[in-house]
Structure 1
């Protein structure tokens, strides 16, 4: 009987879904003439030349009740995107009380660098804390600002939520802290950090990897025990709130990454692939980033308002609901993995560009042009109707009507400015920033940073 019901119901369901999709598309097609005029009236112009930041005052209303603001980006390598985010971050900190900035960079590195900020130049803090794609002239301004705010007694606290690491950043700082208490344990930490950074690349078989991993896990467990039983180490850490919690969590994170993410990385290196898509290291990274961010928001800074800096792909609300993402797998992203209680506190902003070019993060040198003109009726093409160089459009507080049905129907938007993705915008973002033109970031070379 159940099989008969399924055989009868399934074709009807398919017909209903097809009709529903057709009806939505037909309605959207009939309402296209209203879209441009709505965008022209409601898109909020952004004016970087406005020193008073009056153009950003709309954020007070838009972000009311939101503890977390996520600032995405379609590409890591565009100067105008970076500059726009830096300007918004300053406003959010000064006017709306957002006091924590969480970067898509390794948790141990960002926190260790923040704890040492007093001893570092802004450029050195940037170099030691965040990934090289953001070692740019426009992002240095942000680190100048953070140092100034800290000296004024109104700090914008830097942290991270990624699990990937930058060799030597955490190692150098943490080894220095431990050495003052126990040089032998400092040597153990330094060697463990070096071995951790090459665990997968220097292992040729799974047995070799497993043996090295087990030894390293025991090393970090010894270091955690040492930290718990030596109160004088806590006294030797930088005099910053939460320094001890950051240090302990960084050590534990090394163990967690080896037991999960690196374990899968090694299997994939040997071409042993999992059956479940979520177990691929690519998606596991997003799951673990969500776990790290949850720890930052709920445990490290539970009473503070937080700004998140990352790529659109990681930050958008639910990649599993994408019609087509850039990898064409629609696997879960960080947004999918975040708990509902954090999602309710979050306003997510995607950033896209109409024209120009950006750097490819694979080498920070290759220039990738933005598809111009963008596809017809894409997000990038539609927002050109605002006739401004930069605009913000709120989705969260916008209802579905003739002028806004483009937010509620399948829409193309460009990953990195040239790869087509398809989505219902309202499902992925609470708002978007649109820039008419972007240019490649200017990467600061290491020799310049060290000066």
Structure 2
């Protein structure tokens, strides 16, 4: 009897399983059709050939009440990302009154270069201030625009928020300013800057690092005291910018902060003495310190100005700790996590992704990395193809959860650097998304 029941039940079970799978597949297909229809109706086409920038007018409504706009990118090395962002920045400055541009580049370098912009060409200002991955014709155009706006009396102010210093821009500029007041202090500054740049690489033991660090900290403290006691004389020789003296003082203090925190951990990693059992602890510390620098820029340096931020999606998205899977598979805190809530409320964050093409690997600015194409089914990149336009913007912040938009509220795959899968709920990470159908590797200029 039991065998007869089993024989009768098995075919029925198979039928149920098949029907269940078919039903789930049908529901998914139906759901995706709702998503595609919504995307077709609500995605804003971007038209780079439109000199009037009428296609960007939707930003006035999307950004209402937001003092800070963050422009991300899934890879640093794509020409179309650069061109799209440059075009948006000009519109934000001219039409919506955003007057500060903060780059994911060294605070000291970007500010020193901007203060000396009058003495430099656009190309030279770019190369002295931001990381080499953005040394492209599109970005030179942006720097030419900034120079032009400054000369017209409607400046788009350049600043940065990264702690990594990869140039001698601050050393060159600051030495010139200090030398006009006290040549001996200028020599101390120059030597300290040189020693700072090689502190970790030229230290072979932790004791050696600690001794060198202690000497350098005293040097920078002496320079800060000098700057405070000779403030009026220094201000007479600094560029005629309202914030020049504050930037100079903060740059000196930042050197101390970086040595006491970030470089301390760099040295431990060099000697394989890992903090908190995390091998790349400095990776997360960099984001924490970038958040601190940006907070200083937004609340102390330019508290009344509207700010545009240029950086990678990873740093700018709102809360990496809520990612279901990030590209390093640790879901550690990013810059967005570390920002205070009061700043987050003032911020509109835009992630930028691509459907196809290739970009540069920023480790050498030479290796070409292809985008996974076609992208995974149901991914952000695949879904936005339904817009049937080469470039679109989708507002996420002002969109409620319903049939056509549930893709923003449910787990979604998106590709880091165009090929590494990450999983997130879009609504938790971005306020808007830009999608480009095709990207090509940036052309780095010499």
- TM normalised by structure 1 equals 0.92
Q: Which residue of 1 aligns with 2:4?
A: none
Taking the aligned partners of 2:170 and 2:134, their CA distance within structure 1 comes to 18
Alignment of 1:236-275 (within 5 A): 236-275=237-276
Q: Which residue of 1 aligns with 2:50?
A: 50
5+ residue gaps, structure 2, are: 1-23
Contact residue 411 and residue 425 of structure 2 kept, 8 A: yes
Q: 1:271 to 1:29 in 2, by over 3 A?
A: farther
5+ residue gaps, structure 1, are: 1-23, 446-451
Q: Which residue of 2 aligns with 1:419?
A: 420
| Secondary structure of residue in 2 paired with 1:171 | helix
Is 2:381 the counterpart of 1:380?
yes
Alignment of 1:215-364 (within 5 A): 215-230=215-230, 231-275=232-276, 280-364=281-365
Q: 1:273 to 1:29 in 2, by over 3 A?
A: farther
Deviation at 1:163, TM superposition (A): 0.2
Q: Which residue of 2 aligns with 1:131?
A: 131
Contact residue 28 and residue 406 of structure 1 kept, 8 A: no
1:350-376 Cα distance to aligned partner (Å, 9 max, x none): 000000000000000000000010000
User: What's the C-alpha RMSD, in Å, of the aligned pairs?
Assistant: 1.5
1:302-322 Cα distance to aligned partner (Å, 9 max, x none): 000000000000000000000
Contact residue 112 and residue 173 of structure 1 kept, 8 A: yes
Q: Which residue of 2 aligns with 1:197?
A: 197
Taking the aligned partners of 1:90 and 1:45, their CA distance within structure 2 comes to 18
Taking the aligned partners of 1:251 and 1:27, their CA distance within structure 2 comes to 60
Q: Which residue of 1 aligns with 2:159?
A: 159
Deviation at 1:26, TM superposition (A): 11
Contact residue 269 and residue 280 of structure 2 kept, 8 A: no
Q: Which residue of 2 aligns with 1:440?
A: 441
Q: Which residue of 1 aligns with 2:211?
A: 211
Q: Which residue of 2 aligns with 1:73?
A: 73
Number of aligned residues: 422
Deviation at 1:33, TM superposition (A): 2.2
Is 2:407 the counterpart of 1:406?
yes
Alignment of 1:29-108 (within 5 A): 31-108=31-108
Contact residue 290 and residue 338 of structure 1 kept, 8 A: yes
